[in-house]
Structure 1
Amino acid sequence: MVPAAQGAASVSTDQVKAELLVHAPEGLRPGVQAWLGLKLVHKKGWHTYWLNPGDSGLPTQLQWSLPPGLKAGEIAWPVPHRLPIGPLMNHGYEGTLLLPVPLTVEQALPEQPLTIALRADWLVCENVCIPEGGDFSLKLPAGVGRAAWVRDAALFEKAFAQQPVSWPGARAAARADAQGLQLDLQGLPPQWQGRRLSVFPTAAHVLSPSVEPQAAWGAAGAWSARMAYSPQRLDQPSELGLVVAPAEALSGEAPPAGVALVAAVTGAWPAADAGGPSGAAGATAQGTGAAGGLGGPEPGRAGGMGPVDGAAAAWWASALLAFLGGLILNLMPCVFPVLSLKVFGFAADAHDRRALALGGMSYTVGVVLSFAALAGLLLALRASGEQLGWGFQLQSPVFVAALALLFTLMGLNLLGLFEFNMMVPGSWASAKARHPAVDHFLTGVLAVLVASPCTAPFMGASLGVAMTMPPASALGIFVALGLGMAAPYLLLSLMPAWAARLPRPGAWMLKVKHAMALPLLATVVWLLWVLGHQAGIDAAAGLLGLMLLLAFAIGAWSWAAVWGPAARLLTRSALALVLAAGAAWTLPLLQTLPSAPGATNLPGTGYGMGAGPGEAGSTPGAPLGSQGPASGSAPWAPWSPQALAEALAQGQTVFVDYTAAWCVTCQVNKRSTLRRSEVEQALRDRGVVTMQADWTRRDEAITRELGRLGRSGVPVYAFYRAGQDPVLLPEVLTPALMLQALESLPK
């Protein structure tokens, strides 16, 4: 990001001069129209972007800080221009631009100076793209509520003339089919008759900007066109906002500069994956393990099913993939510690058919209900506007710390330091003995909590599709995932002949119980590492201290059982106070961010989330091989939408690793594949820009990009090329698969 001056009415960079303006011809009084505006003067050859930037780019974003009584609306975007960049077509502006914003005065303003503050961010491009921005501040004098403010009236009037209008009698209709979108417009301005028109959808990645429509004029302002779908299309909108304008504006031409329309869409959209990133190439990579090529599917490719049959087929396919993903989830490393407890429980019940069947069914219910509850919470939060994905709870340092404490307790229990029955009231212990199914149910709940950092093969595609479905259908996908995860144990519990092969309970079980504490405590070490990455080394050290206090307190609690009642009460009260003080000291540490998060290396990964001062590899968009540490390891630039857009605008191929410290599969892939010397060398040889998107803590930009890729969790591995749909690799990588994907890249 190019730095900008703080608190000035104007900001200048080498490419853009920006200025905050106010236009209030009748003063700032309730009931009258006033305007704010951001003026951008572009250096010759440079441009910024419209609401829908086209094949690449980002729209300008404005964030206002206004005095009480003032409210800013949305940008009133002028009609954009088509900006061809090689094979791409973008929508944006060159020269001098004013972005007007309506200003509402909700109450009478005080007789004192007013300060209007703005944070603006824009992406400016020529042959390269540069994310820029600035903080603006404009102080209006006292009495501005009564006085007219028209210093920039001519500039605002020109901007108003460039707005698309609602033309009387103009209407639009659209029909979707397998070949594209048929657009029919009626009642267009008569002076446009016979001229070539440009169509700008307000929604990105629905129609292809770079494919010229097949258009024809009819009589009396009627115009029709066949529009190609975007290869990145994921949505199937029932209405489509459009701005229609002459492709070549004539000097001195009478208004309008453009016409704003909303087209109701009929017909059947082809399946979104026919032209989207989770479509042909991505599905090949995900479903078969092939790397796939980087040539995207042709726009408009679709199957022969109608929308209802297609939706049902998509649901069943996603449910099957989720079931298979649940089965494979049992083999993922994050689930091992809890599943070892489950196997131990099976061994204890192996020769009691009724207890075995009850345990298997209770475990299944716990798994399925937990997946459904997590999914319901996730869907509800997303519906309220939160940008979240699968594994969202592990983005909270407090949750990670709580899970680490729980695993510490379980490990100490398996080592024999205490028994849970000693720590709870006698009525609870007797209820637990009468209802052993509760133990199996809670094991299922725990298995889901610790499984959420993992994404098994087939899970990514199915959960990504689930996020686009109605809530009831999406919940069904998560239920299928839970059934898949629980199926092996349910089957074992219902097959006594199989369970009978397990050895009878005996002294060996105590040794196994002690051994099973090791993977649980190893998981605690991993969770401490995750917490250190999320909240810093102080938080990890604080939690470690709290764990030691917990172990000491539990030991002392157990020893106090042989003392008299008064000594027991005094000792346990003191221990409770010590633990409470430790927790109160640790909790604030969990709320902080680690220092210099952009320059923190992930321990043991071989690459970081950015480079510190003076380090190579910190420049987004630089080809691999042109920079890097002397050791020759691959530099990974931190991912951002701007950095990705800049690299693509330069015609570079980008490989993005969407990862998180709490994602065990991500860390395994780093060590087994991405850190391998032959893979790093192949990336350098191909000049691939490598970026890492760290989702360890919540990041809405990454969540949005994962949704655009048809995924809801990590790991995700994607190759990007300008003008083509991203190619997704499977969740579990191998060096051979990675090299195959790189081999398919154009020379």
Structure 2
Amino acid sequence: MVFYNTLKKNLVRVLITCWMLCLGVLTSSANVMASTSPWIDTDFSRIRIVSGQETLGEQGQVMLGLQFELEEGWKTYWRTPGDAGFPVSLTLEGSENLSSWEFFWPVPHRFTLFGLDTFGYSQEVVFPFRIKAQDPSKDVLIKGQVSYLLCQEICIPFDVEVQMRLPAGEAFPSLEESIVSQYVEQVPGLGAEVGLSIENSFLRGEGDQLTLVATGVSKSNPFISPDIIVEGPPGFSFSSPKVKLSDNSTRVEFVIPVSVAKENKGVLEGKLLTLSLIDGVRGAESEKRAQFASGINSSIPTPVEFLTILAIALLGGFILNLMPCVLPVLSLKLLSVIKHEGNDNTELRRSFLFLSLGILTSFWLLAGLAIGLKAAGVSVGWGIQFQQPLFLIAMGGIVTLFAANLFGWFEVFAPAALSDKALTVSDRKGNSGDFLKGMFATLLATPCSAPFLGTAVGFALARGTLEIFGIFTLLGLGMSIPYLLVAIRPEFARILPKPGKWMVWLKTVLGLMLLGTTVWLLSVLFVQVGLVATIVVGALLALGMAALSLKSVAMIHRIIIIGVLALFSMAVPYVLATAPQQATRSDLWQPFEPAQISKLVGEGNIVFVDVTADWCITCQVNKKLVLEKDEIQSRLGQSDVIAMLGDWTLPSEEITAYLKQYDRYGIPFNIVYGPNAPNGIVLSELLSVSEVEKAFDRAASK
């Protein structure tokens, strides 16, 4: 019995010793493997987590890696897979003591199969991800799910769970640090961009011929196998680029075809693109705004071309005085002549110089606005301020003030009254009034595109700062020509009748003309904000007129009333506006669908496009005098003619980009496509029946 008990005790001791030895071995093994998780095997791949550190360190921040090993011929996908596939994803919802984490994408490769391009990885890849512990003094448990797709001739989706515990402690590198660092250096922004940069990019062409051109530079080493990947908005795809290397292989130009999905009605211009320049394991990323070559890359015009455009701008500005959209403003200019009748030449010259300076200043402000908007990546156009309800309300108020002034209800120009009545628009000291009248005359003249004006504005807005300011200056000078002539030779103004009672009646008539302009502005506003809001704005303007007519009330009190009414008017679009009204015409007209034009023409049809707006006076003149004529209506009603109506009353990126394809930034714009004119025949701003009929004949099949 004693022997048995002794043997039993010895066996227990041996078992306890073995257990302790095994526990020690397991603990030691766990410590060695703290920087990796076990491999998880799936069909055709295996996956694990690796760490660049054995422990968290004092900062509690560690760079980890999601490591894939793929069998030969299999691949998985980048954040933007391309024409097929879906990207690798990692979720860490089950983790403990995890404050935040960030996932990174190494430089991918392009795979082309049956004309389809995809972007991803083969053989091996490590996706770095950085974690930060909530409490660095405690362990972090990394636990989550990885979803990925493997493709060869077939594609197989996988979902696997990964887990690894990273102990707290003083930081020191792990055995896998080199693996993690190798792939961290392949992440753009973390080292992959060594010597690489994307210099510029721009759009070129139109429709099926639309391309994106980008230029890359390598300052450290020559390019070996450069490629570029473009990530853009939904509905647009970017094919394999044509690559052109410089002689020393330090610069590369990519020409990337752009495809637009049939259901996509948007435009690419103005959208943000992410360009990834790749050369082996090197890569650089850059965000660029999609803009046509009219931006930084447009060709520099020759001196003769630029001088020709300047001459066209001068003529276009002059003709603007004769356009229907400027007629309501002529009252302001006519009164500037009448009030100086009989005065000395010095005062007359000064008055007309200030009037001209006001016109020029408005053109300079418009130029500055266009330059600023272009720099911000916003599409710009001539007269687009009439698409904004607040601008329409402000202009309606200003024109109403001018009408009240003509009716003799006040003599002090309203803005100046706020400065201790320092400036007055009297018959003798009206330079400030002349200047402001010149400015407002220009603003009211912008809703239409006169002959030559569209060409000049299109050229200007398609180029840089210098060209824009130069051409807009010549436009202003052209519009100022009649007034500058009077300033130079005052006797030109003497042909007007002598002052008399007739001027009182003329002022009344001209005031009514300005009120007509206010009604027109309200009609444009109606399309944008609806009936109720327009009626309220009109009522507030009428109340303002009534307040100004009360001569028994002190001027300062009337100004306060006008100011309060103005504030209420500006608030109306935000409170009472309803859904915008769409332009309607007869059943002959179809909605504007530029993507369908090539298809319709290919089927043997003639397509007539009319880009118009309710605020465009010239557009309305064209409609009444040409497009609604029986002979043109008969043409538009033919079975092989499709009439498309592009309504630009409200902002439209699609229409803005469409106009820009033809270097147009203002309306009216009319063009005829056909089997014999697939690229279109652009018509003049002021239409004629014969011009439209000839365009139809030319566009038809031979």
Equivalent positions of 1:107-118 (< 5 A) are 108=131
Question: Which residue identity does 2:609 align to in structure 1?
Answer: V
Unaligned runs of 5+ in 2: 1-44, 51-61, 67-76, 85-92, 94-99, 135-140, 157-200, 218-222, 228-238, 249-298
| Secondary structure of the structure 2 residue equivalent to 1:720 | strand
Distance 2:572 2:351 in 1: 37
Deviations 1:13-65 (A, max 9, x none): xxxxxxxxxx9977899776863457878xxxxxxxxxxxxxxxxxxxxxxxx
Pair 344,203 (structure 1): closer, same or farther in 2 beyond 3 Å? closer
Answering whether residue 377 of structure 2 is matched by residue 385 of structure 1, we say yes
| Secondary structure of the structure 1 residue equivalent to 2:611 | strand
Pair 573,746 (structure 1): closer, same or farther in 2 beyond 3 Å? closer
Match of 2:545 in 1: 551
Answering whether residue 346 of structure 2 is matched by residue 354 of structure 1, we say yes
Q: Does structure 1 conserve the Cα–Cα contact (< 8 Å) formed by 2:111 and 2:120?
A: no
Q: Does structure 2 conserve the Cα–Cα contact (< 8 Å) formed by 1:535 and 1:594?
A: yes
Q: Does structure 1 conserve the Cα–Cα contact (< 8 Å) formed by 2:313 and 2:453?
A: yes
How far has the Cα of 1:475 moved from its partner? 0.9
How far has the Cα of 1:724 moved from its partner? 3.7
| Secondary structure of the structure 2 residue equivalent to 1:480 | helix
Higher mean C-alpha deviation, range 414-423 or range 359-368:
414-423
Match of 1:467 in 2: 461
How far has the Cα of 1:641 moved from its partner? 4.0
Match of 1:746 in 2: 700
Match of 1:261 in 2: 243
Match of 1:726 in 2: 680
Distance 1:416 1:329 in 2: 29
Percent sequence identity over aligned pairs: 29
| Secondary structure of the structure 2 residue equivalent to 1:330 | helix
Q: Does structure 2 conserve the Cα–Cα contact (< 8 Å) formed by 1:238 and 1:264?
A: no
Pair 100,690 (structure 1): closer, same or farther in 2 beyond 3 Å? farther
Answering whether residue 306 of structure 2 is matched by residue 321 of structure 1, we say no
Q: Does structure 2 conserve the Cα–Cα contact (< 8 Å) formed by 1:366 and 1:443?
A: yes
Deviations 1:674-708 (A, max 9, x none): 12221121133371222122221221222112111
Match of 2:528 in 1: 534
Answering whether residue 640 of structure 2 is matched by residue 687 of structure 1, we say yes
Equivalent positions of 1:85-124 (< 5 A) are 108=131
Distance 2:543 2:131 in 1: 59
How far has the Cα of 1:652 moved from its partner? 3.6
Distance 2:398 2:683 in 1: 35
Equivalent positions of 1:593-742 (< 5 A) are 594=579, 597=581, 600-602=582-584, 607=585, 633-644=586-597, 646-648=599-601, 650=603, 652-685=605-638, 687-721=640-674, 724-742=678-696
Q: Does structure 2 conserve the Cα–Cα contact (< 8 Å) formed by 1:493 and 1:499?
A: no
| Secondary structure of the structure 2 residue equivalent to 1:398 | helix
Match of 1:373 in 2: 365
Q: TM-score, normalised by structure 2?
A: 0.61
How far has the Cα of 1:368 moved from its partner? 1.3
Pair 447,672 (structure 1): closer, same or farther in 2 beyond 3 Å? same
Unaligned runs of 5+ in 1: 1-22, 42-66, 83-91, 112-142, 159-201, 210-229, 246-256, 267-306, 562-567, 608-632
| Secondary structure of the structure 2 residue equivalent to 1:691 | strand
Q: Does structure 2 conserve the Cα–Cα contact (< 8 Å) formed by 1:24 and 1:148?
A: no
Distance 1:24 1:684 in 2: 67
How far has the Cα of 1:531 moved from its partner? 0.5
How far has the Cα of 1:447 moved from its partner? 1.0
How far has the Cα of 1:324 moved from its partner? 1.0
Distance 1:144 1:669 in 2: 70
| Secondary structure of the structure 1 residue equivalent to 2:553 | helix
Question: Which residue identity does 1:334 align to in structure 2?
Answer: C
Match of 1:150 in 2: 148
Q: Does structure 1 conserve the Cα–Cα contact (< 8 Å) formed by 2:412 and 2:425?
A: no
Q: Does structure 1 conserve the Cα–Cα contact (< 8 Å) formed by 2:80 and 2:119?
A: yes
Answering whether residue 388 of structure 2 is matched by residue 396 of structure 1, we say yes
Q: Does structure 1 conserve the Cα–Cα contact (< 8 Å) formed by 2:604 and 2:640?
A: no
Match of 2:553 in 1: 560
Deviations 1:221-258 (A, max 9, x none): xxxxxxxxx7x99x9998899x999xxxxxxxxxxx97
| Secondary structure of the structure 2 residue equivalent to 1:730 | coil
Equivalent positions of 1:77-476 (< 5 A) are 108=131, 146-154=144-152, 205=204, 261-263=243-245, 311-351=302-342, 352-420=344-412, 424=417, 427-429=420-422, 432=425, 435-476=429-470
Pair 693,76 (structure 1): closer, same or farther in 2 beyond 3 Å? farther
Distance 2:127 2:552 in 1: 70
Q: Does structure 2 conserve the Cα–Cα contact (< 8 Å) formed by 1:25 and 1:150?
A: no
How far has the Cα of 1:601 moved from its partner? 3.6
Match of 2:30 in 1: none
Pair 322,332 (structure 1): closer, same or farther in 2 beyond 3 Å? same
Answering whether residue 509 of structure 2 is matched by residue 515 of structure 1, we say yes
How far has the Cα of 1:100 moved from its partner? 7.2
Q: Does structure 1 conserve the Cα–Cα contact (< 8 Å) formed by 2:106 and 2:127?
A: no
Q: Does structure 2 conserve the Cα–Cα contact (< 8 Å) formed by 1:109 and 1:145?
A: no
Pair 425,382 (structure 1): closer, same or farther in 2 beyond 3 Å? closer
How far has the Cα of 1:719 moved from its partner? 2.3
Q: Does structure 2 conserve the Cα–Cα contact (< 8 Å) formed by 1:372 and 1:479?
A: yes
Deviations 1:634-672 (A, max 9, x none): 522221444445535655432211112111111111111
Pair 538,311 (structure 1): closer, same or farther in 2 beyond 3 Å? farther
Distance 1:454 1:684 in 2: 27
Q: Does structure 2 conserve the Cα–Cα contact (< 8 Å) formed by 1:718 and 1:726?
A: yes
Question: Which residue identity does 2:332 align to in structure 1?
Answer: L
Q: TM-score, normalised by structure 1?
A: 0.58
Distance 1:649 1:109 in 2: 60
Distance 1:421 1:207 in 2: 50
Distance 2:387 2:631 in 1: 33
Pair 560,318 (structure 1): closer, same or farther in 2 beyond 3 Å? same
Deviations 1:540-597 (A, max 9, x none): 11211211221232234x2224xxxxxx98x76994696267436524147x4525x4
Deviations 1:113-145 (A, max 9, x none): xxxxxxxxxxxxxxxxxxxxxxxxxxxxxx997
Measured on the aligned residues, the alpha-carbon RMSD in Å equals 4.6
| Secondary structure of the structure 2 residue equivalent to 1:320 | helix
How far has the Cα of 1:415 moved from its partner? 2.1
How far has the Cα of 1:75 moved from its partner? 13
Pair 79,206 (structure 1): closer, same or farther in 2 beyond 3 Å? farther
Match of 2:78 in 1: 35
Pair 744,150 (structure 1): closer, same or farther in 2 beyond 3 Å? same
Distance 1:637 1:578 in 2: 44
| Secondary structure of the structure 2 residue equivalent to 1:693 | strand
How far has the Cα of 1:481 moved from its partner? 0.7
Q: Does structure 2 conserve the Cα–Cα contact (< 8 Å) formed by 1:356 and 1:493?
A: yes
Equivalent pairs, count: 500
Q: Does structure 1 conserve the Cα–Cα contact (< 8 Å) formed by 2:598 and 2:678?
A: no
Pair 581,428 (structure 1): closer, same or farther in 2 beyond 3 Å? closer
Match of 1:588 in 2: 574
How far has the Cα of 1:735 moved from its partner? 1.3
Q: Does structure 2 conserve the Cα–Cα contact (< 8 Å) formed by 1:98 and 1:156?
A: no
How far has the Cα of 1:462 moved from its partner? 1.5
Higher mean C-alpha deviation, range 506-515 or range 145-154:
145-154
How far has the Cα of 1:327 moved from its partner? 1.1
Q: Does structure 1 conserve the Cα–Cα contact (< 8 Å) formed by 2:351 and 2:431?
A: yes
Distance 2:105 2:625 in 1: 51
Distance 2:373 2:535 in 1: 32
Match of 1:45 in 2: none
Pair 326,690 (structure 1): closer, same or farther in 2 beyond 3 Å? same
Distance 1:665 1:549 in 2: 31
| Secondary structure of the structure 2 residue equivalent to 1:150 | strand
| Secondary structure of the structure 2 residue equivalent to 1:658 | strand
Pair 377,410 (structure 1): closer, same or farther in 2 beyond 3 Å? same
Question: Which residue identity does 1:147 align to in structure 2?
Answer: Q
Q: Does structure 2 conserve the Cα–Cα contact (< 8 Å) formed by 1:24 and 1:150?
A: no
Higher RCO, Cα 8 Å, sep 6+: 1
Q: Which has the larger radius of gyration?
A: 2
